[in-house]
Amino acid sequence: MPETAPVDTWLAVTREDGETVGYLEPVTDDYADVIPRNRLGHAVGDAQDYHAAEELVLDRGLRELAEHWLLDGAGVELAISELSPAGIVLRDAFLAKALVPLEPTHVPWPDTAGRLRRVQND
């Protein structure tokens, strides 16, 4: 796995309303080639041209943040309740809807290690 560029070199991709929908991680010093990343910091494509990567991130948007996630590929399904540079906060996806007080699970942001994996509903 190639080394990830420092987060402070990533460029935020924003929609017209100013909402950040993902990031572009530089592969080259001039940002001609970048890795498209979602809000969690997961790579969502291979290294590619800046403009193609930006379009990919914009097209993906934020919808995946509403999905259910597994931590390290196992355990209960989790829902993202907070997401910021301070970290990713998750709660049990089903009990959170019932407004049951829960202990949150914290994952550092960005999740470049891929600890969070989307639940695949086949």
Residue 100: the pLDDT is: 67
3 forms beta bridges with none
CA atoms within 13 A on the CB side of 121: 4
CA-CA-CA-CA torsion sign (94, 100, 106, 110): positive
Asked if residues 115 and 71 have their Cβ atoms less than 8 Å apart, the reply is: yes
Phi then psi for residue 60, to 5 deg, are -70, -40
Q: Kindly report the pTM of this predicted structure.
A: 0.89
Instruction: Walk along the chain (122 residues) in steps of 10 and give the mean pLDDT of each run.
Output: 86 96 97 97 97 97 95 94 95 79 90 95 68
